[in-house]
Structure 1
Amino acid sequence: MGGGIAQSLAIAGVPVQLADADAETTRTNHARLLREARVFEQNGLYPAGAADAVEANLHPRESLEDAVADVDWVEEAVPEIPDLKLDVLRQVDAAARADAIIGTNTSTIPVKVLSAAIGDKSRFLTVHFSNPAPFIPGVELVSGEHTDPAVVQAVEELLARMGRRSAQVADVPGFVLNRLQFVLLKEAMAVVEEGVATPQDVDTVVSTTFGFRLPFFGPFAIADMAGLDTYVRGFGTLQEGFGDRLSAPKLLTDVVDAGRHGTKNGGGFYDLGPEQLDELIAYRDRAYHRMQQLLDELGPSPIQQAGMAQLPQREGETPRPDGDVPDASGQTG
């Protein structure tokens, strides 16, 4: 993650000081980032001149203290281990300039936990890139109780310079990205455990249905286009089958009760006039058509062509050499 973030900054023309666990690891990874940038440019993944920019702007340093001593922004990107992050952040806080912004790339740990390592908490926030950092445009920004709004604005401006889109979210475990992503994975695994579908079939459903829409629209926009009243009725069916954990959210029922059913009557979570609705439908149809063209051009991914792994057996289950998934009673179909 750190290397991809560093490359992205360097391509944007920002000088970057690199530090890893030790000087030798830093030098090794610096050389890897230079080679990787050349390959990415040759393969058309980076624009022309990007590799030269990476070479010009990435500077390996002998120590963490040397790397952060005179920079405007430090981004910590060590593994998601709280004690390790706290230790590194303490070192950064002690060695960096008093006016330097300190960011963490944590994907789940709240700011209020990691800010314990920072003396002046007004300069600290989460700047959460996604993997692979050079190619995923979204970045979560999470302020702590004491984060200076001017710090957030400065980071937003730099992210925009890097071609990134940022969203400010509250300081809760998992933020937005992984709260949603982990819940989807948990429910997907429940579907497999219940024998509803195999992992491969779940992935097919996700990637070819609602996941097909997600590069263009988020869940609120998708619900608006489908009809919020339809979602309320759908939640009723789910509640009958799975109980209150899948009942309709109050936010949804309140919006529907107010007569806002989505794009079908001009307003749901978004307001759209008739002309905007026509533009939206035309954009949606073009976007989905282009997405299918791209998928056809790329062909199936290696994971789609992989065989089905033998899943671990729970106690009392009979091994399933044919790969069948048991239903809720433990039987296979």
Structure 2
Amino acid sequence: MTDEIAVVGAGRMGEGIALTCLAAGLPVVLADVKDRTDEERSAYCRRVRDRLAEQLRAKLGDDAALAGLTVCGRETARLADAVVVFEAVPEVIEIKREALAWVCAQVGESAVIASTTSTFLVTEIAKLVDRPGRVVNAHWLNPADLIPLVEVSRSDDTDPDAVATLTGLLERIGKVPVVCGPAAGYIVPRLQALVMNEAARMVEEGVASAADIDLAVRAGLGPRFSVLGPLEFIDWGGCDILYYASRYLTSELGERFQHPDVIERNMSTSRRGLQDGTGFYDFDPEGVPEYRAARMREFEAIFGLREPHLRNGTPVPTKQED
């Protein structure tokens, strides 16, 4: 079997996945499964191929990798050699059911089927295929070719080899896979929904303007969390800070700021982070000074890149008059 990758669904996500795999030197079959006439299909496939050629030239300096691309409809698609098939059709369960039934009839027994859905749990997608253990959700973030992260969602019934095959492929093409269970919102959408709703709520309450809230995130929260993830940040600053801040914010703003039980447990068992040597992470006391220094160097590098842009300001889009 070759290292061929199949992408079923030739929309924006499908194109981004195909571009990433082509740029990494892997052959790709990109199957457009939308209902079209032969003439429409031919024209659409040409446009897709032209767009990918242009993007490959911008990314690699030439479009030589395009030789590994096959863009086709389901009538001519051949998926038998695909190691991994990414399903990237619209978020409608009947459309997914039909597309995955077709995929199952095409692929080999060892092929991993990875749905890019952001809506349906892996346990739901697994019901739509003939061998549920080989199904994994692979949630790419747009733009798919630029964002490193791919969230890989598995269930207790997922074959570990399927997860290993998918994460190995993602690492090979330059992505950063993280594995999570079958929970609504994965990791990033669940976190960002809370942040975005709270930002909108602050505008609604008149706390600050949309522009100032966005600037606060771009100049502070965003870059800071790009160095220290939120759980590492709890350990860095101290679980006690979050514990007391949460109690105050809950009293002032409501139950949505109530801390989870794990924060209470960490406080009661002296797992406050760096100050105790353990928290969500364990810290070697001898290594803490270098750890702190390394993180501070990362902060300097991140803010060194961001500061000129923030000082110069960013044009704010405005509505155009009719």
Q: Is residue 107 of structure 1 aligned with residue 121 of structure 2?
A: no
Structure 2 residue corresponding to 1:92, chosen from 103, 109, 121: 103
CA 281–27 in structure 1, closer or farther in 2 if over 3 Å, else same: same
Q: What does 1:218-257 align with in structure 2 at a 5 Å threshold?
A: 218-257=229-268
Structure 2 residue corresponding to 1:17, chosen from 17, 23, 29: 29
Q: Is residue 171 of structure 1 aligned with residue 182 of structure 2?
A: yes
Q: Which amino acid aligns with 2:182?
A: D
Q: Which amino acid aligns with 1:241?
A: E
The 1-side partners of 2:280 and 2:295 are apart by 17
Q: Which amino acid aligns with 1:30?
A: R
Q: Which amino acid aligns with 2:173?
A: M
Counterpart residue number, 1:180: 191
Counterpart residue number, 2:56: 37
Q: Is residue 27 of structure 1 aligned with residue 27 of structure 2?
A: no
**8 A Cα contact 2:23 2:56, kept in partner:** no
Query: Structure 1 runs of 4+ off > 6 angstroms?
Result: none
Q: Is residue 207 of structure 1 aligned with residue 218 of structure 2?
A: yes
Counterpart residue number, 2:9: none
TM-score normalised according to structure 1 size: 0.83
Q: Which amino acid aligns with 1:12?
A: A
Structure 2 residue corresponding to 1:281, chosen from 275, 281, 292: 292
**8 A Cα contact 2:28 2:70, kept in partner:** yes
User: Residue deviations 1:21-64, cap 9 Å, x none?
Assistant: 3532223212210111112335xxxxxx7x42x31322223436
Counterpart residue number, 1:8: 20
The 2-side partners of 1:290 and 1:4 are apart by 29
Structure 2 residue corresponding to 1:74, chosen from 77, 82, 85: 85
**8 A Cα contact 2:238 2:272, kept in partner:** yes
**8 A Cα contact 1:106 1:128, kept in partner:** yes
Q: Which amino acid aligns with 1:143?
A: R
- Deviation of 1:220 (Å): 0.4
Taking every aligned residue pair, what percent have the same amino acid on both sides?
A: 31
Q: Is residue 305 of structure 1 aligned with residue 315 of structure 2?
A: yes
The 2-side partners of 1:96 and 1:301 are apart by 53
- Deviation of 1:150 (Å): 0.9
- Deviation of 1:301 (Å): 11
CA 248–146 in structure 1, closer or farther in 2 if over 3 Å, else same: closer
User: Residue deviations 1:65-84, cap 9 Å, x none?
Assistant: 61424322110112333332
> Secondary structure in 2 aligned to 1:17?
strand
**8 A Cα contact 1:65 1:91, kept in partner:** no
Larger CA deviation: 269-278 vs 65-74: 65-74
The 2-side partners of 1:302 and 1:114 are apart by 47
- Deviation of 1:145 (Å): 4.5
> Secondary structure in 1 aligned to 2:114?
strand
Larger CA deviation: 92-101 vs 32-41: 92-101
> Secondary structure in 2 aligned to 1:61?
strand
- Deviation of 1:110 (Å): 0.7
Counterpart residue number, 1:129: 140
User: Residue deviations 1:199-239, cap 9 Å, x none?
Assistant: 21221112222211122221000111111111111011111
- Deviation of 1:131 (Å): 1.2
Q: Which amino acid aligns with 1:35?
A: E
The 2-side partners of 1:133 and 1:237 are apart by 39
The 2-side partners of 1:105 and 1:36 are apart by 22
Count residues with an aligned counterpart. Answer: 301
Q: Is residue 118 of structure 1 aligned with residue 116 of structure 2?
A: no
**8 A Cα contact 2:234 2:242, kept in partner:** yes
Stretches of structure 1 that go unaligned for 5 or more consecutive residues are 43-48, 311-333
Stretches of structure 2 that go unaligned for 5 or more consecutive residues are 1-12
**8 A Cα contact 1:71 1:96, kept in partner:** yes
CA 138–217 in structure 1, closer or farther in 2 if over 3 Å, else same: same
Structure 2 residue corresponding to 1:58, chosen from 69, 80, 88: 69
> Secondary structure in 2 aligned to 1:6?
helix
**8 A Cα contact 1:112 1:145, kept in partner:** no
CA 65–238 in structure 1, closer or farther in 2 if over 3 Å, else same: farther
**8 A Cα contact 1:200 1:308, kept in partner:** no
The 1-side partners of 2:75 and 2:110 are apart by 17
The 2-side partners of 1:243 and 1:62 are apart by 52
The 2-side partners of 1:118 and 1:302 are apart by 52
The 1-side partners of 2:274 and 2:317 are apart by 42
CA 294–303 in structure 1, closer or farther in 2 if over 3 Å, else same: closer
> Secondary structure in 1 aligned to 2:208?
coil
